[in-house]
Structure 1
Amino acid sequence: MPIELKTAEEIEAIRTASQLATEVLNLLRPLVVAGVTTEELNAVAHRHITEVQGGVPATLGYHGFPKSICTSLNHQVCHGIPGARKLVNGDMLNIDVTVIKEGWFGDTSAMYCVGTPSIRARRLIEVTYEAMMRGIEAVRPGATLGDIGHAIQKTAEAQGFSVVREYCGHGLGRNFHEDPQILHYGKPGEGLRLEPGMVFTIEPMINAGKREIKLLNDGWTVVTKDHSLSAQWEHTVAVTETGVDILSGDARPAAMRGVD
């Protein structure tokens, strides 16, 4: 489909939805503790989106997805389905939330640790966040999609990590997934040139081991083939006349604030 440039008013509507998604992530952070299940986290998120925010959880029923958030544990790369498995000390978890508010979508995700993470897990989480931010910093009118992907890939691979290539960021607005597709690897100067009014997500999935992945039999959950840890962060951004505007809020734990 053609890329739809958003007006200032439309961008504000997407910002509102994105900020609501961030609100859910921050609401869940103190609840991510040993003994809780991801289904319990899903229930809290669902109630907050529908009863407090007056929104709609975009993933619920999307192509048959059964839950209101995605919860991806440890070696799960993305699209993990909340369930009965209890979190244990040392787990790392990505929670991905998309809220629809007054017809507009807002999409973001964040990483969580249960108890004390391993040094490698903590480093993977930090580098993945840094890679996302380097990608966001590459966004400006006249830059290319390859500039974004290269910034992410360079940051991750410099630390010995790998970039998942089968899944990418995406445009959004009144639809969950729109053009353009935002690859998290690439070469400078290649690909579509950015224009003010473009709105899309940047959401790199970075593996501690090799980049190869596989889809589980549930049809949704994606895991690393070598069972290495995987991390992901996601922001929704808009291209402005002078650079980039991050529409989703900060969902980092206090220990990571100021790490950009």
Structure 2
Amino acid sequence: MIMDDEVYDAYREAGALARRVLRRGAGLVKEGAGLLDMVEETETMVTEEGALLAFPLNVSFNEAAAHDTAMPGDERTFARGDLIKVDLGIHVDGYIADTAMTVDLGDHGALVEASRAALEAAIAAVRPGVATGELGTAIQTTIEEHGYRPVANLTGHGLDRYNLHAKPTIPNVAMTGGAVIEEGMVFAIEPFATTGSGRVGEATRVEIYRQVAARPTRLPSAKRVLEAARPRRGLPFSRRWVPGDKVEIGLSALVRAGILHPFPMLHDVPGSFVSQAEHTLIVTEGGCEVTTR
């Protein structure tokens, strides 16, 4: 795969910015702090730096693993004992950096380290010619050595311009084969370690959507939703980004019509805890460059 200097620089710029903003945003996760304030302040950091969000800031509590973000008027606060995943995606001219870390407000240090160590083990295995199944093996082996389970039905993913889920898929469990890694590939590796079942299911609540089709609609609330979605060029957006009332009506109509794809919050079993770590990397001739480290 060929990557010119302009594209390479955009990926590196996005990665450096994502690293800075993630650290600052994660620092806002404190006992008693409000989720909505933390999310909005972190998202504002991105635009103040001259970049754009690749997806709404994901902030997932405890057994939740992904696709949670603040609701309009959200009154949730961070509490002692919480395990909070902060997942940030930003882009520079469509070239994406996706990175995540886990903030421990309790006594979950070993679980947090399991996902961190698994991420580093997978990164160390990246080089051209390696099959993605080998990365999954490194992730699963490391997490199990720490005494936890990997989340089998969540994966890392390729990144392309304005495309958050391109090829290749990076498994979080051992498998034979998979895509062969090539120089110039860009992808995110994101291990999840859990005290629960090792699989996530969908909750009923949805805060994040993506436009997948362009068809006309007569419903005023649906038109407002599409006005918010259109500049995203197919990247996800949050319900709270849509102004006005009756937003739920418009969202529901567009999902039924196949114009929007919903992303329900994903969670392991109640009472469990999930940790996450994630970096974006560019595959090089001899290994990889981690853009978000």
Pairwise TM-score range, normalised by the shorter structure: 0.7 to 0.9
Identical amino acids, percent of aligned pairs: 30
Q: Does 1:56 align with 2:56?
A: no
Could you say if the C-alpha distance between residues 165 and 43 of structure 1 is closer, same or farther in structure 2, counting changes exceeding 3 Å? same
Residue of 138, 146, 158 corresponding to 1:171: 158
Q: Which amino acid aligns with 1:224?
A: D
Q: Does 1:101 align with 2:145?
A: no
Q: Does 1:10 align with 2:54?
A: no
Q: How does 1:36-75 map to 2 (within 5 A)?
A: 36-50=33-47, 52-59=48-55, 68-75=56-63
When the two structures are superposed, what TM-score results if normalisation uses the length of structure 1? 0.84
Q: Does 1:229 align with 2:290?
A: no
CA deviation profile, 1:43-68 (whole Å, cap 9, x unmatched):
11121111x21121121xxxxxxxx3
8 A Cα contact 1:168 1:181, kept in partner: yes
Q: Distance in 1 between matches of 2:199 and 2:280?
A: 26
Q: How does 1:1-260 map to 2 (within 5 A)?
A: 5-50=2-47, 52-59=48-55, 68-82=56-70, 83-114=74-105, 117-118=106-107, 121-174=108-161, 175-187=163-175, 190-219=177-206, 220-249=264-293
Number of aligned residue pairs: 232
1:13: how far off?
A: 1.1
Unaligned runs of 5+ in 1: 60-67, 250-260
CA deviation profile, 1:165-224 (whole Å, cap 9, x unmatched):
222111113122211111111236x12211110110000111122213211101321111
1:225: how far off?
A: 2.0
Q: Distance in 2 between matches of 1:172 and 1:191?
A: 17
8 A Cα contact 2:60 2:84, kept in partner: yes
CA deviation profile, 1:140-171 (whole Å, cap 9, x unmatched):
11111011000000111122211112221111
SS of match in other structure, 1:216:
strand
Q: Which amino acid aligns with 1:235?
A: H
Q: Distance in 2 between matches of 1:192 and 1:57?
A: 28
CA deviation profile, 1:49-104 (whole Å, cap 9, x unmatched):
11x21121121xxxxxxxx3000111111111223211112211111111121221
RMSD: 1.6
Q: Distance in 2 between matches of 1:148 and 1:227?
A: 29
Equivalent residue number for residue 259 of structure 2: none
Unaligned runs of 5+ in 2: 207-263
SS of match in other structure, 1:143:
coil
Higher radius of gyration, 1 or 2: 2
SS of match in other structure, 1:87:
coil
Q: Distance in 2 between matches of 1:168 and 1:187?
A: 12
SS of match in other structure, 1:151:
helix
Equivalent residue number for residue 252 of structure 1: none
Q: For structure 1, which segment, 237-246 or 219-228, has the greater mean C-alpha deviation from structure 2 after superposition?
A: 219-228
8 A Cα contact 1:129 1:233, kept in partner: yes
Q: Distance in 2 between matches of 1:49 and 1:245?
A: 22
SS of match in other structure, 2:12:
helix
1:5: how far off?
A: 4.9
Q: Distance in 2 between matches of 1:157 and 1:5?
A: 37
Question: Runs ≥4 in structure 1, deviation > 4 angstroms?
Answer: none
Q: Distance in 1 between matches of 2:5 and 2:278?
A: 22
SS of match in other structure, 1:33:
coil
Q: Which amino acid aligns with 1:200?
A: F
When the two structures are superposed, what TM-score results if normalisation uses the length of structure 2? 0.75
